[in-house]
Amino acid sequence: MINAHKILFDTVQQALAQVYNISNPVITFQKTRKEFEGDLTLVTFPFIKETKKSPEQLGQELGEYLVKNNTNVSAFNVVKGFLNISLTNQFWLGYFNAVKDSVTIGYKKENSSGKTIMLEYSSPNTNKPLHLGHVRNNLLGFSVAQILKANGHKVIKANIINDRGIHICKSMLAWQKFGNGETPASSGLKGDFFVGKYYVLFDKENKKQIEELIAVGKTKEEAEKKSLLMLEAQDMLRKWEAGDKEVVDLWKTMNGWVYEGFAVTYKTLGVDFDKMYYESNTYLLGKEIIEEGLKKNVFYKKENGSVAIDLSGEGLDEKIVLRSDGTSVYITQDIGTAIERFKEFPQLSQLIYTVGNEQDYHFKVLFKILEKLGYAWAKECYHLSYGMVELPEGKMKSREGTVVDADELIDEMLATATATTKELGKVDDFNEEEFKELNKTIGLGALKYFILKVDPKKKMLFDPKESIDFNGHTGPFIQYTHARIRSVLRKAAFDFERGEAKVEMSAIEKELVKFIYDFEGVVAESGTAFNPALVANYIYEVTKLYNRFYHECPILKEEDENIKIFRLQLSKLCAQAIANAMNLLGIVVPEKM
């Protein structure tokens, strides 16, 4: 592959060695800023001390050397310590001809990096449906996995299901008491919604009991502890942990209903997993590790018998890792699970947790404990932290009035897509089945793009209506552009792919080619930062530029055959780049709209 960075690097390195006697210099290029002329920019400041030149003088001398010694360099300009380098049209045309038929533009060969990365995301509880927060989690996790694969890494997509605990027993107990044998099938409810209904019912009935206890003189704290329902739920949890057959069988049945519901939502969202973990299998992990850590003085016993670690020297606090009764806390399980994963997959290069930013402190503590326990791979554990998603008040209400379920949000998106496409009249030649599939593609594309275009670290406001604007910074705008290009290519009706392009590119055509060249670098940067927003915003800029090109440059009506073929080839390459970038975001692009 033709690489401008490599071509310029070699010449700059040669110049620094021959003219200034600098060996093994650290040379970095960046894309030239929009307000300056040039394609790539070299920062000269790192070489000032050894060359004894001013930044401007060194830039001028290096620029002159590049023009004289590298046939790919057409011009340069110096702005303070920044050398802006322009490459020839022939270079960009050569690059275009090298990639114009590539279907893997922006992607590296699968497993070419030699790295294996486990990426955990989703992590739902089996007492309720997936909600809006899970939507961001799943879309972010899946997209980062796609991007890491595109960077040549092997990725293991993992999901840990929180399938045990008092919250699960609340749903089980409520169904046992009030369900009268009802099932998802008999009620017509999706499994996760069905079980979630009983979790809400438990809360409602428990509050009634607490109020009754308060009315007879109990304090709120006493009432919460002595509520009969809560005591029964706690007893059910003890029975589950003891392996009581009746309780375990009910637990398996109700979790099965939830898994069926989750599977439908995951399929609709277009996310999947390579490895499933269950808290019921992992909650005892880590206890032996704590005992070993006690012997090594990593942990210490407190007066009340609990086990802790003092991390105040690392800017953190004391952390309890075993309760005084010997039971584990959540971080104990996380310690054990992390160790088990590296045992199960010894080839792991990195372990990434996709979890909301309210758990930032938890993961700092977890990674520091693993490090103190002597695991070298602890430094390769990473928390992919993300902000909350909010909806504009009044735009959409959930069934319970508090949390927006993922399925409700998806239904809202499909309804909005249907209304918008009908209003714009973009589907007159679609049959009913095609229309339905298109609306699903547009609705989900709008949802995914609107969420993924925002830096994960930022809190975001999601507006379903705004996300489906066909003329805005949205998924449908990009999808429509792809469909427009595919329509142009279908109308061409002749073999436009033949031979190499031999034209004098216009400024906008050259700019488009340069944008395509940047794709691989954007994917690499996005993979390093675990940030799909870089890909999302890059492809939006490509799409905007292509639309400008489409309106300024005749394609099918161009009379010069060579120019027409080049523009069709360029259009095809842009469509491929759009499709590949959107695939990294988990978004489907339609062939027609």
pLDDT digits (tens, 9 = 90+) for 47-99: 999 999 999 999 999 999 999 999 999 999 999 989 999 999 999 999 999 99
Supply the pLDDT for residue 465. Answer: 82
pLDDT of residue 327: 86
CA 554-555-557 angle, 5° bins: 70
Residue 411 Cα distances to 264, 418, 461, angstroms: 13, 11, 18
Residues in the chain: 593
Q: Report how far residue 574's alpha carbon sits from residue 515's, in angstroms, rounded to the nearest whole number.
A: 9
Assess whether pLDDT exceeds 60 at residue 397. no
d(CA 306, CA 320): 7
Q: pLDDT tens, 424-448? A: 776 667 888 888 999 999 999 999 9
Token duo for residue 452: 């993924």
Mean local confidence (pLDDT), 397-410:
71
Burial call 105-135: b when 16+ CB within 10 Å, e when fewer = bbbbeeeebebbbbbbbbbbbbbbbbbbbbb
**What's the N-to-C CA distance of the chain in angstroms?**
34
Q: Which residue has the tokens 């489907």?
A: 588
Please count the other Cβ atoms lying within 10 Å of the Cβ belonging to residue 304: 9
Q: Do residues 569 and 421 lie in contact, with contact meaning Cβ atoms separated by under 8 Å?
A: no
Rounded to an integer, what distance in angstroms lies between the CA atom of residue 208 and that of residue 178?
15
Radius of gyration of the chain (CA): 29
- Token duo for residue 544: 């905007």
The per-residue pLDDT for range 524-558, each reduced to its tens digit, is 999 999 999 999 999 999 999 999 999 999 999 99
Q: For residues 190 and 195, give the distance between their C-alpha atoms in angstroms, rounded to a whole number.
A: 9
pLDDT at 399: 43
pLDDT at 424: 74
- What residues have CB less than 8 Å from 72, skipping those under 6 apart? 4, 7, 8, 87, 88, 90, 91
Task: State the Cα–Cα distance between residues 330 and 322, nearest whole angstrom.
Answer: 9
- 430 or 451, higher pLDDT: 451
DSSP bridge partners of 526 = none
| pLDDT value for 474 | 96
Query: How confident is the model over 502-507, as a mean pLDDT?
Result: 91
Alpha-carbon distance values, 586 to 138, 140, 534 (Å): 10, 9, 14
Q: What pLDDT sits at residue 426?
A: 63
Q: At residue 398, does pLDDT exceed 50?
A: no
Query: Can you give the pTM of this predicted structure?
Result: 0.93
- What tokens were used for 476? 């449908």
Phi and psi at 463, nearest 5°, equal: -115, 105
Q: Is the pLDDT of residue 285 over 60?
A: yes
Give one DSSP letter per residue of 380-404, joined into a string. GEEEEEE--EE--TTT---SSSS--
Q: State yes or no: pLDDT of 589 exceeds 90.
A: yes
Convert the pLDDT of each residue in 331-341 to its tens digit: 999 999 999 99
Q: What is the pLDDT of residues 173-213, one digit of tens each?
A: 999 999 999 999 999 999 999 999 999 999 999 999 999 99
CATH code linked to domain 4-87: 3.30.1360.70
Q: Which of 211-225, 371-385, 423-437, 457-471 has the highest mean pLDDT?
A: 371-385
Report the alpha-carbon distance of residue 476 to residue 482 in Å, rounded. Answer: 10
Rounded Cα distance between 293 and 288, Å, is 9
Same fold, 4-87 and 406-584: no
Residue 344: what pLDDT? Answer: 97
Report the distance separating Cα 130 and Cα 216, nearest Å. 39
Q: What is the pLDDT of residue 130?
A: 95
Output the pLDDT for position 241.
92
What amino acid occupies position 427? V
- How many CA atoms lie less than 13 Å away from 296 in the CB half-sphere? 12
Q: Residue 283 carries which side chain, given as an amino acid letter?
A: Y
What fold characterizes domain 406-584?
Isoleucyl-tRNA Synthetase; Domain 1 (1.10.730)
Burial of 200 (0-12, 13-18, 19+ CB in 10 A): middle
Instruction: Read off the pLDDT of residues 454-466 as tens digits, 9 standing for 90 and up.
Output: 999 999 988 888 8
Distance CA 357, CA 355 (A): 7
Let me know: does 532 contact 452? Beta carbons within 8 Å: yes
Sorted by where each begins, the domain ranges of the chain are: 4-87, 165-272, 406-584
Query: What Å distances lie between residue 276 and 74, 125, 531, CA to CA?
Result: 55, 13, 24
CA atoms of 565 and 569, how far apart (whole Å): 6
pLDDT for position 427: 67
- Whether 134 shows a pLDDT value over 90: the answer reads yes
In the structure, how many helices (H) and strands (E) does the chain have? 22, 14
> CA 202, 207, 210, 215 torsion: positive or negative?
negative
Tokens matching residue 36: 């300056």
Region 115-142: mean pLDDT is 96
* Residue 538: CB atoms within 10 Å: 21
Q: Does residue 81 or residue 523 have the better pLDDT?
A: 523
Which residue blocks in 216-314 are alpha helix, DSSP H? 220-226, 228-241, 245-269, 279-282, 287-295
Query: Which is it for strands 82-87 and 73-79: parallel, antiparallel or unpaired?
Result: antiparallel
- Asked if the model's pLDDT at residue 385 lies above 60, the reply is yes
pLDDT over 70 percentage in the chain: 97
In whole numbers, what is the pLDDT of the chain averaged over residues?
93
pLDDT of res. 1: 61
pLDDT of residue 393 exceeding 70: no
Q: Greater confidence, 428 or 108?
A: 108
Q: How confident is the model at residue 404 (pLDDT cuts 50, 70, 90)?
A: confident
